Amino acid sequence: MNDVVGKGSVAVITGAGSGFGREFALLGARRGLRLVLADVQADALQSTLAEVTALGAEAIARAVDVADAAQVDALAAATRLRFGRVHALFNNAGVGSAGLVWENSLRDWQWTLGVNLMGVIHGLRAFVPAMLDAAAADPHYRAHIVNTASMAGIVNPPLSGVYNVSKHAVVALSETLHHDLALVTAQVHCSVLCPHYVSTGIHVSQRNRPASLANDAPATRAQRVAQALVEKAVTSGKVSAAEVAGMTFDAIEQQRFYIASHPQALVGARARAERIVAQQGPYDPFAEREGLRDSLRAALAGQGD
Ligand SMILES: NC(=O)c1ccc[n+]([C@@H]2O[C@H](COP(=O)([O-])OP(=O)(O)OC[C@H]3O[C@@H](n4cnc5c(N)ncnc54)[C@H](O)[C@@H]3O)[C@@H](O)[C@H]2O)c1
């Protein structure tokens, strides 16, 4: 056990306006953490700030686009000024993209990789050096970083190539971070959060897409089919975002690296690894759901329009 998520510790949370980020903030407030909340959506951010303040938390909120390195650097400066050292960093902000991989626009790639991957990279660059300085200065100091990836960072479902790539990169980055930290300190640890479908605002990510990265062309049939699929899966998720926040805080206390919200979904991870080792074709995500494959093929072919 450690006090990284205990009373008085400082937590920085990106994507704090909704979903997992908001639940990290609420749980943090209940535990007496001091909070730095960041999100690109100002109204949602202010609403989380009001909620944590009502719970008695000391908190600041900053409108930040995590895809912009200078804005994340400014967040780190504001954090240092207000609270000094950071104990928990949640690189959590993320967006979804769907469709056949060759149909995604350059802007789909730029937007999704900008938020989901570069956002995490900017968070590490802006906050980790100061954590290591704090560790060197104080043997009692402990810190923990949680990067939010996805089950889509472990397996590769079809119709979500851009998102899969962004999340696999976050898993790779996090595993490497774990190894790199272990080479230089025993006081700073990290985890990678890999949720399966959970009901949040992720299926309506386009609400926060910058106009400069908007698509000119309307969504293709495949993108509409994929969007409907994601919406159904997300909104019917049985595990809540609050439960995932609880699992995440438990994992921080236990210094556990992989955090899977739906352990049963890891059957895909095992099957994928076995097929890699056997040098066979990729794991078939429809292996036990032939009906879904057939209905997707029909939808992509425009049957039922
Ligand atoms: N909900 C799921 O089923 C699920 C599954 C796997 C992974 N995830 C991941 O969980 C993380 C949190 O998403 P969520 O499900 O809570 O969705 P959400 O939409 O409810 O919350 C995401 C938050 O990130 C913010 N955000 C978006 N772009 C941003 C940017 N450029 N800069 C700063 N903030 C930005 C949004 O405004 C929003 O408040 C994401 O990384 C997502 O990919 C979600």
Are 142 and 2 in contact by the 8 Å Cβ rule? The answer is yes
Beta carbon of 145 within 6 Å of any ligand 1 atom: no
State pLDDT tens for residues 98-130.
999 999 999 999 999 999 999 999 999 999 999
Beta carbon of 162 within 6 Å of any ligand 1 atom: no
Is 241 among the domain residues? yes
CATH assignment at residue 160: 3.40.50.720
Token look-up 């897409």 returns 209
Written as one string, the DSSP assignment of 121-156 is HHHHHHHHHHHHHHHHH-TT--EEEEEE--GGGTS-
Beta carbon of 92 within 6 Å of any ligand 1 atom: yes
Separation between Cα atoms, residue 33 and residue 6, nearest integer Å: 6
How many domains does one find in the chain?
A: 1
State pLDDT tens for residues 243-275.
999 999 999 999 999 999 999 999 999 999 999
Is 293 among the domain residues? no
Is 250 among the domain residues? yes
State pLDDT tens for residues 35-93.
999 999 999 999 999 999 999 999 999 999 999 999 999 999 999 999 999 999 999 99
Of 69-73, 147-151, 173-177, 301-305, the one with minimum mean pLDDT is 301-305
Separation between Cα atoms, residue 28 and residue 31, nearest integer Å: 5
Is 301 among the domain residues? no
**What pLDDT, on a 0 to 100 scale, did the predictor assign at position 2?**
62
Is 305 among the domain residues? no
Are 20 and 148 in contact by the 8 Å Cβ rule? The answer is yes
- Is residue 163 among the annotated active site residues? yes
The answer to whether residue 304 scores a pLDDT higher than 80 is: no
Cα distance between the two ends of the chain? 56
Is 277 among the domain residues? no
Residue type at position 136 = A
By most ligand atoms within 8 Å of CB, the mutation choice from 40, 91, 170 for ligand 1 is 40
Is 84 among the domain residues? yes
Residue 11 β-bridge partners: 35, 88
Is 254 among the domain residues? yes
- In degrees rounded to 5, what are phi and psi of residue 32? 85, 20
Q: Residue 226 belongs to what domain range?
A: 10-265
Beta carbon of 197 within 6 Å of any ligand 1 atom: yes
Separation between Cα atoms, residue 146 and residue 195, nearest integer Å: 13
